[in-house]
């Protein structure tokens, strides 16, 4: 199987359908958001993120990925549970360092650190972290098929993007590959790219849009192009996207060229898609909060997922492997 996150369709085939053969899906199960409602009365939701760990930057990515799913439901993360699986040659000092780092992240974000467990296995070659975030949502957002219930935010709505393409991936490449990058770029340029990792949380987006009718969808593994596909699958609608309007920083363009990768298929944590009938209000509210946001297209009634670039028109490809996974093998 391909390394990386399951696509929406693969999850349907190998996870959702086998569950449905035995029992109904949990109420509030949201496959396209990686979360579920665990108590409708209290509007409690749970989400999870899992990834391999090489350095503390991976810890931050897993932590914010889990929390961002809660923020996307207009919720507030109250607690995280963390589980580590370490290879046999792991150093205990490194394990302690990363555990301390996750505790510091929780303190910074005012999130309670709950259960922390760890194990060692001869069957893994790299450490793996799983972060489970528990919080409270402002509304019920899914049905038993794991799809978004808010019909007003589907066909006919405008699609915006907050942040920029490849935020997390470029930040990680700048952190991991600093020595190689210094052969071509200045330290200041590299530091600017590394600072993308300081803006992984979409909490500012959630807080800025509290009073605006909008649907937030976090961009994660596979970048903005995979997020567009999965978002459209999740709401059962089509898209009409202007590729040139998708925001991207110069640092991302140059570092992507350095590594020979596509920044639009690169981890985009820290950025998100926003669907709304009030795009002007969305962009204005986020600008006031200091978050960049632009209109990139429309959600349509047709199933076609159209990508435009000047006079060229093509269709969005099915989800591909994240570029970071490919070059870090």
Q: Where are the domains of the chain?
A: 8-136, 151-327
| Cα 202 from Cα 272, distance rounded (Å) | 8
- Rounded to the nearest 5 degrees, what angle is found at the Cα of 224, between the Cα atoms of 250 and 259? 50
The pTM for the full model equals 0.89
Asked if 161 and 273 count as a contact pair (C-beta separation under 8 A), the reply is yes
In CATH terms, the superfamily for domain 151-327 is PurM-like C-terminal domain (3.90.650.10)
pLDDT for residue 13: 79
CATH of the domain spanning 8-136:
3.30.1330.10
pLDDT for residue 144: 44
Asked if 154 and 214 count as a contact pair (C-beta separation under 8 A), the reply is no
pLDDT for residue 74: 87
pLDDT for residue 54: 84
pLDDT for residue 115: 92
pLDDT for residue 150: 47
pLDDT for residue 108: 93
pLDDT for residue 167: 96
pLDDT for residue 148: 47
pLDDT for residue 23: 74
For every one of its 329 residues, what pLDDT tens digit does the chain have, with 9 covering 90 and above?
666 666 666 777 787 788 777 777 666 666 666 777 777 677 788 999 998 888 889 999 999 999 999 999 888 999 999 999 999 999 999 889 999 999 999 999 999 999 999 999 999 998 999 999 999 876 555 444 444 444 445 668 999 999 999 999 999 999 999 999 999 999 999 999 999 999 999 999 999 999 999 999 999 999 999 999 989 888 888 999 999 999 999 999 999 999 999 999 999 999 999 999 999 999 999 999 999 999 999 999 888 999 999 889 999 988 888 999 877 76
Which residues does 242 contact at the CB level (< 8 Å), separation at least 6? 296, 297, 308, 309
């Amino acid at each position: 199987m391909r390394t990386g996150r399951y696509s929406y369709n693969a999850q349907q085939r190998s996870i959702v359908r086998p569950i449905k053969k035995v029992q109904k899906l949990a109420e509030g199960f949201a496959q396209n958001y990686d979360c579920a409602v665990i108590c409708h009365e209290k509007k409690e939701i749970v989400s999870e993120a899992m990834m391999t760990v090489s350095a503390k930057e991976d810890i931050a990515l897993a932590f914010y990925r889990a929390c961002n799913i809660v923020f996307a439901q207009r919720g507030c993360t109250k607690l995280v549970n963390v589980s580590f699986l370490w290879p046999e040659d792991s150093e205990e000092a490194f394990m302690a360092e990363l555990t301390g780092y996750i505790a510091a992240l929780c303190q910074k974000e005012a999130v309670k650190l709950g259960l922390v467990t760890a194990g060692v296995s001869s069957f893994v070659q790299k450490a793996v972290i799983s972060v489970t975030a528990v919080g409270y949502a402002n509304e019920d957002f899914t049905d038993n098929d794991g799809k978004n219930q808010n019909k007003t935010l589907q066909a006919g709505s405008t699609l915006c993007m907050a942040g920029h393409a490849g935020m997390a991936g470029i930040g990680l490449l700048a952190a991991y590959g600093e020595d190689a990058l210094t052969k071509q770029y200045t330290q200041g340029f590299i530091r600017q790219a590394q600072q993308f990792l300081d803006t992984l949380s979409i909490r500012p987006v959630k807080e800025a849009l509290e009073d605006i009718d909008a649907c937030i969808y976090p961009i994660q593994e596979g970048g903005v192009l995979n997020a567009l596909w999965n978002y459209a699958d999740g709401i059962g609608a089509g898209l009409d996207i202007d590729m040139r309007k998708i925001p991207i920083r110069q640092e991302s363009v140059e570092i992507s060229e350095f590594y020979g990768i596509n920044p639009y298929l690169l981890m985009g944590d820290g950025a998100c898609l926003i669907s709304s009938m009030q795009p002007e209000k969305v962009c204005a509210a986020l600008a006031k909060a200091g978050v960049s946001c632009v209109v990139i297209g429309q959600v349509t009634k047709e199933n076609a997922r159209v990508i435009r670039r000047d006079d060229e028109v093509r269709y969005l490809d099915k989800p591909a492997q994240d570029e970071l996974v490919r070059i870090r093998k």
